[in-house]
């Protein structure tokens, strides 16, 4: 099937904060860039990439997926289509990021119909890198395509708030490094050598993280919600700590110490920004991670319960069902880690 081949061709399946109240209190006076702390978990591992050499006319469909996806255009022509935005032209050196893995199409022109992937020659180059070639006499397009599963759930709330598609050129003016990075990727992709796949993956990792940061800085200054919380100098460092170590035995006292505030002020401020208390937020965060561990990683219920700091499998199972409305056993048996927990507010 075309869709399953597309998934195989372009799919990519990929330190701790202070953990006691005395450590948290001793560092509570130190300013922390909470977004950078969260982005520390942004890594591509076990990466598979598709380097595409395509001759016009071509049109390839990319179905909706649970993973972040990106496309880098080393040589044109190339157009991208999403249901929300319609057709948009991509120029040489452009990178597009689809944070939520939104269904889309790439084509050499908007009027090309059908799906061309079944007519391409796909060669596995090893190390989870493949080459996709479509022969012909039309204009040549060279693309570098991939998708990534975030190694931890730290960025999930941020990803859910991002638009369906972000063009690197739209935010390049807000980061002087984005332009040179895109130029370096263009040069590396144009003349692939030994180790090019690894070098491109590292640059894509860095570039994506910087694009996410640029987007965050350009979204305005809302007073409530996850973005407002991650920007807050007190609540932001608490969110970073909770997301990096959700299984720790966090208490209101230790979280308030990390924030550098009294328990009452911290609890009031946390609830005012995020719309719920820290205990409820942490419980939902743990259940989101639990769904991933049970479904995609296939861990046992007991293993997940221990990893997330629950004293018994039974207490974890009760908490999981209370928040997700399904039992952890069902998620594990169906290999479904998709737990609908909204952190967008």
Residue pLDDT, tens place only, 237-284: 898 888 888 899 999 999 999 999 999 999 999 999 999 999 999 999
15 — pLDDT class (breaks 50, 70, 90): very low
| Closest to 290 (Cα-Cα) out of 277, 300, 276, 280 | 300
If you classify domain 2-217 with CATH, what class do you get? mainly beta
Per-residue pLDDT averaged across 191-215, rounded?
Answer: 76
Q: Quick one: three-class SS letters along 144-213?
A: EEEEECCCCHHHHHHHHHCCCCEEHHHHHHHCCCHHHHHHHHHHHHHCCCCCHHHHHHHHHHHHHHHHHH
* Number of residues in the chain: 345
The backbone region for 282, taken as left when phi is positive above 0, alpha when psi lies in -120 to 50, beta otherwise, is: alpha
**Both tokens of residue 157?**
């709330």
So what's the pLDDT on residue 118? 84
Residue keyed to tokens 């179905």: 63
SS3 content of the chain, % helix, strand, coil (to 5): 45, 15, 40
25 CB neighbour count, 10 Å cutoff = 16
Range 113-134 average pLDDT: 82
Per CATH, which fold does 226-334 belong to? Arc Repressor Mutant, subunit A (1.10.10)
Look at residue 6 and tell me whether its pLDDT is greater than 70: no
Taking the model in full, what pTM does it have?
0.67
Task: Give the model's pLDDT for residue 139.
Answer: 95
Q: Most confidently modeled of 31-40, 43-52, 124-133?
A: 124-133
| Model pLDDT, residue 29 | 33
Share of the chain above pLDDT 70, in %: 76
Return d(Cα 113, Cα 133) in angstroms, integer. 18
Strands, E assignment, 63-103? 68-75, 78-82, 86-90, 95-98
pLDDT digits (tens, 9 = 90+) for 70-95: 888 888 899 999 998 999 999 988 88
Peptide bond connecting 77 to the previous residue in cis, omega within 30 degrees of 0: yes
* CA-closest candidate to residue 292, choices 328, 249, 343: 328
- pLDDT 10s digits, 187-199: 877 777 777 767 8
Output phi, psi for 295, to 5 deg. Answer: -85, -65
What's the pLDDT tens digit per position in 141-177? 999 888 776 655 556 677 777 888 888 777 666 778 8
Residue 129, judged by CB atoms within 10 A of its CB (0-12, 13-18, 19+), counts as: buried
Q: Report which of 296, 297, 289 is spatially closest to residue 324, judged by C-alpha positions.
A: 289
Q: What is the pLDDT of residue 343?
A: 40
Q: How far is CA 285 from the centre of its chain?
A: 16
What mean pLDDT do residues 292-308 have? 86
The distance of Cα 272 from the centroid of its chain, to the nearest Å, equals 27
pLDDT band at residue 12 using 50, 70 and 90 as cut-offs: very low
Domain definitions of the chain by residue range: 2-217, 226-334
Residue 277 CB neighbours (<10 A): 14
pLDDT band for position 230 (cuts 50, 70, 90) = confident
């Amino acid at each position: 099937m075309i869709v399953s081949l597309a998934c195989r061709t372009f799919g990519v399946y990929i330190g701790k904060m202070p953990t006691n109240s005395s450590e948290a209190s001793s560092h509570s006076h130190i300013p922390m860039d909470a977004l950078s702390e969260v982005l520390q978990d942004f890594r591509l591992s076990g990466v598979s990439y598709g380097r595409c050499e395509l001759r016009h006319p071509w049109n390839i469909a990319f179905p909706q997926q649970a993973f972040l996806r990106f496309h880098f255009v080393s040589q044109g022509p190339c157009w991208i289509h999403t249901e929300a935005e319609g057709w948009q032209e991509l120029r040489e050196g452009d990178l597009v990021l689809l944070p939520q893995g939104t269904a889309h199409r790439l084509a050499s022109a908007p009027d090309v119909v059908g799906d061309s992937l079944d007519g391409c020659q796909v060669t596995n180059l090893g190390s989870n890198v493949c080459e996709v070639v479509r022969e012909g006499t039309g204009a040549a397009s060279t693309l570098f395509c991939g998708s990534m599963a975030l190694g931890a759930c730290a960025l999930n709330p941020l990803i859910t708030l991002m638009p369906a598609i972000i063009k690197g050129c739209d935010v390049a003016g807000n980061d002087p490094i984005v332009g040179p990075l895109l130029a370096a990727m263009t040069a590396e992709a144009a003349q692939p050598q030994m180790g090019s796949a690894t070098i491109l993956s590292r640059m894509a990792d860095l570039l994506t993280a910087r694009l996410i940061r640029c987007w965050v800085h350009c979204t305005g200054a809302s007073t409530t919600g996850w973005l407002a919380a991650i920007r807050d100098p007190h609540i932001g460092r608490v969110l970073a700590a909770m997301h990096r170590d959700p299984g720790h035995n966090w208490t209101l006292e230790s979280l308030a110490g990390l924030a550098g505030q009294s328990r009452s002020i911290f609890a009031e401020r946390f609830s005012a920004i995020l719309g719920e208390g820290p205990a409820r937020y942490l419980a939902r965060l743990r259940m989101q991670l639990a769904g991933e561990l049970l479904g995609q990683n296939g861990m046992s219920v007991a293993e997940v319960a221990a990893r997330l700091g629950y004293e018994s499998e039974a207490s974890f199972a009760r908490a999981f069902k209370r928040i997700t409305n399904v039992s952890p056993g069902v998620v594990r048996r169906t290999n479904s880690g998709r737990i609908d927990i909204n952190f967008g507010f």
